[in-house]
Structure 1
Amino acid sequence: MTALRILYLHQHYSGPGGATATRAHAMARALAARGHEVTLACGRYDGAVTGLEGPFRRGMREGRVSGFRVVEFDIPCGNAMALGARSLAFLRYAHRAARLALGGGFDLLLASSTPLTVALPALAAQRLRGLPFILEIRDPWPELPRALSEAGMGGVVPAPALAAMERLADAACRRARAVIGLTEGMAETAIARGADPAHVHVVPNGCDLDLFGPHVAPWRPPEAAAWEVLAVYAGAHGRANGLDAAIGAATILRNGGERRLRLLLAGEGGERARLVEEAARRDLRNVTFLDPMPKARLAGLLSGAGIGLHLLAPVPAFAEWTAPNKLMDYLAAGLPVVTNAPGRAARLVEAHGDDGACGIAAPPGDAPALADALAALAANPARRAAMGAAARGRAVRLWDRRLHAARFCDLLEAAAGERPLARAA
């Protein structure tokens, strides 16, 4: 196929040197390896490392990373910011990205949401330049913000903002050349908004088998005793992550005399300070908080751990509308997983046919059940080993990110090969 000039809009992009998701890095690198000319435009996201150095000039800097061009706008954004500040960052990025897209020179635009505002430059470039675009849904908006708002987990989103997001999501799904969702549930939201089912696809998060796995040298924090089994949660510390369940489970384990287990909570977010204070107030010496760390450093921590901990607040929408990267990292590292999320995450750790379970699913919002699951694995090294082997086996057979990246590239190439859209008059 003729090489494509692709503009990849991903406001929260990070390379492997950061502490956040690297899916976009893997996909852009795969596209570049096929000979396509990729420009990835991003902002400054908390915990992300783009790989670019040097000062910003006129609000941006650029350079080449792993075979593709990165344009980084000087627009800070993070989950700890207030809703108004984050919304302003979203709109500022959309404005700068639209100017880049309208500058011409691209054959295809890939808009990766969240935030949904990446659809604004995509729709503008389609209308004014006839540039076709693909919409990637990493979180369904406005469905997820509405669910979080109703559950009191994400701040109250004003009704006018939700109405505007509704119209934008409808337009993006209907006008996109193709839609890629990370889960079947996300794909269903696109179809419900008018996307052609024939052009809606699922490309899930995958496992980085080179970065995570039994080949990685392990390390443990100094607080961890040699006999302790480490249960690691690595990710955001926000209200939606529901880490009070970890504090509750740690309290139950401590009060029950369980001394074989230590919970490690690595990351940052708006709830971290409160969680640290609560753990100290309860004198939970079986809980350790760690700062966010680069993926390579995290790989060593997971290699030295015994359990991967996947937690979410008890919000029904999370069942099919979330695809946490941490879950894939645990599987790749060969860790048994304890999750308190129903739906997709629970199905992922269950036994399938002759393939044994690779973890335990506790009911959402049930701290005693979470504590029981952790204690059961801490007490049974053989069971942990069997589940860990099943996790790594599934990662290799089903979740290898390279396989998903190849399908991602195929879908973009197929969409680009279709008849171009008529230019707006």
Structure 2
Amino acid sequence: MHILYIHQYFKIPSEPGGTRSYWVAKRFIEEGHKVTMLTTSSSIQEKIVHKTIDGIEVIYLKVPYNQNMSIMARVKSFINFMIKSTRLALKVKNVDLALATSTPLTVGFPALVLKKLRKIPFIFEVRDLWPEVPIQMGGLNNKLLQKLAVNFEKSIYKNAKHIVALSPGMAAGVLKYEPQEKVSMIPNMAKIDAFWPREKNKQLQTELGLRTDSFKLIHFGALGLANGAMSIIRGAEELKEDTSIEFIFIGGGSTEEELKNYCQKHQLKQVHFLGRFPMEETSEIVNFCDVSMVSFKDLPILYTNSPNKLFDSLSAGKPIIVNSAGWTKEMVEKHNCGVYVNPHQPTALAQAIKSLQVDDTLKNEMAKNARKLAETTYDKSILCDQYASLIAAGN
């Protein structure tokens, strides 16, 4: 089977960012399928670049995008890719199945066109419940546009052969419109061979300007509006006088400068913004930290999130502090691999951090449980098998 995989932000392991589509595509190839990945790159010079990467035929379109873009610039990028990818998708020969993975929702448009014009079925993967996310975040306020976007969402779901959601909350959002048998939940993936507990790299800590004897908390990944990382900074402010603790941010996004400026203004010298790193170095940094923090803005729609950093933290064997009152809260509490802290209570965050710092037994038990959960439930080998079975079953 020839699968046309449409993902605007496709990344390979040597690049910063989520690699779910890479691993899924690789598993399809192992099953004997041919995979053509249709994606974007801001760095290419030509309008279109073809590459074969680990058996995946990747078509890169030159469509700029980054986390620091304004809302209007992002919308322009989404529409640009929607138009260009649709034109190119229609030219790809002998396609048997399309797989479009959001966000944004516009990624579903080329798959929809392929079905209408070439009778090619498609699977739609829901990584965020658009347009509800931008509506609740205030990025889509026009009532007419909201209605049009919701109708577009319903049309994609209706025309999809099958829908894969990345969390129970996302699946519930789809089930408002589609029957149970049409929807599967395959969450984001842990990578137990890429993130794992090992001896801490003290040399790298020193090179990055960090202490080797401090208690370290890490937030890695995007620092966009949806991440609400100021809640972590407020917690750090509560611990301002405690020199035994360091807060580390790796990644970046639209709120990064605001966070940096706040830390500078309030002399939060224990907070470090280290920038972006490829997965191998990210793994080293996460490994020498003691606790991972997964932060989101306090909006009901974001309770459905399925963040990469959560599953990489499980793989790394780190206790996880979450501030989203959804399924991730239920997960860390049920499996005793972390704690939930209300994002509006910085004092509670500070207390949770100190509790983990002083109680090695608790911290080590949570770390062990996190790794076990990654190995037995969320590793990419397990979830990619589920995806391959979905395809084999004809969905």
TM-score, normalised via structure 2 length = 0.95
Superposed, 1:47-86 pairs within 5 Å as 56-57=45-46, 59-86=47-74
CA contact (8 A) 2:67 2:253 kept: yes
CA gap 1:272/1:25 in 2 versus in 1, 3 angstroms? same
SS in 2 for 1:109: strand
Which deviates more from structure 2 when the two are superposed, residues 400-409 or residues 79-88? 79-88
Residue 10 of structure 1 aligns with which residue? 7
SS in 1 for 2:125: strand
Residue 214 of structure 1 aligns with which residue? 197
Match of 1:106 among 95, 98, 111: 95
Residue 365 of structure 2 aligns with which residue? 386
CA distance in 2, matches of 1:90, 1:326: 24
Among the aligned pairs, what percent are the same residue?
A: 28
CA distance in 2, matches of 1:117, 1:131: 18
CA distance in 1, matches of 2:212, 2:118: 62
CA contact (8 A) 2:3 2:34 kept: yes
CA distance in 2, matches of 1:292, 1:326: 14
Residue 324 of structure 2 aligns with which residue? 341
Which deviates more from structure 2 when the two are superposed, residues 307-316 or residues 156-165? 156-165
Give the deviation of 1:77 after TM superposition.
1.2
CA distance in 1, matches of 2:140, 2:125: 25
CA distance in 2, matches of 1:142, 1:258: 42
Superposed, 1:169-180 pairs within 5 Å as 169-180=153-164
Give the deviation of 1:414 after TM superposition.
2.1
Cα deviations across residues 20-74 of structure 1 (Å, max 9, x unaligned)?
11111111111111111000111126xxxxxxx9x543x1101111111010100
Give the deviation of 1:407 after TM superposition.
0.6
CA contact (8 A) 2:124 2:162 kept: yes
CA contact (8 A) 1:177 1:415 kept: no
Match of 1:246 among 232, 236, 240: 232
Give the deviation of 1:160 after TM superposition.
3.2
CA distance in 2, matches of 1:114, 1:389: 33
Give the deviation of 1:225 after TM superposition.
2.1
Q: Runs of at least 4 residues of structure 1 off by over 4 A?
A: none
Letter of the 2:350 partner, please give it. Answer: A
Letter of the 2:392 partner, please give it. Answer: E
Residue 92 of structure 1 aligns with which residue? 80
Unaligned runs of 5+ in 2: none
Residue 196 of structure 1 aligns with which residue? 179
Pair 1:405-2:384 in alignment? yes
CA contact (8 A) 1:245 1:365 kept: yes
Superposed, 1:213-292 pairs within 5 Å as 213-215=196-198, 218=201, 219-221=204-206, 222-254=208-240, 257-292=241-276
CA distance in 2, matches of 1:158, 1:81: 20
CA distance in 2, matches of 1:56, 1:160: 38
CA contact (8 A) 1:216 1:299 kept: no
Which deviates more from structure 2 when the two are superposed, residues 108-117 or residues 361-370? 361-370
TM-score, normalised via structure 1 length = 0.89
Residue 346 of structure 2 aligns with which residue? 367
Cα deviations across residues 222-262 of structure 1 (Å, max 9, x unaligned)?
432232011000011122211111111111112xx423211
Pair 1:23-2:9 in alignment? no
Cα deviations across residues 116-169 of structure 1 (Å, max 9, x unaligned)?
1111111111011000001100011111111111xxxxx344333322211111
CA contact (8 A) 1:338 1:361 kept: yes
CA distance in 2, matches of 1:161, 1:24: 30
CA contact (8 A) 2:228 2:296 kept: yes
How many residue pairs get aligned? The number is 391
CA distance in 2, matches of 1:107, 1:216: 47
Match of 1:308 among 289, 292, 297: 292
Letter of the 1:44 partner, please give it. Answer: S
Pair 1:136-2:125 in alignment? yes
CA contact (8 A) 1:133 1:177 kept: yes
Cα deviations across residues 318-374 of structure 1 (Å, max 9, x unaligned)?
22x21010000111001111111112111111144xxxx111111232111111111
CA contact (8 A) 2:189 2:311 kept: yes
Unaligned runs of 5+ in 1: 46-52, 150-154, 417-425
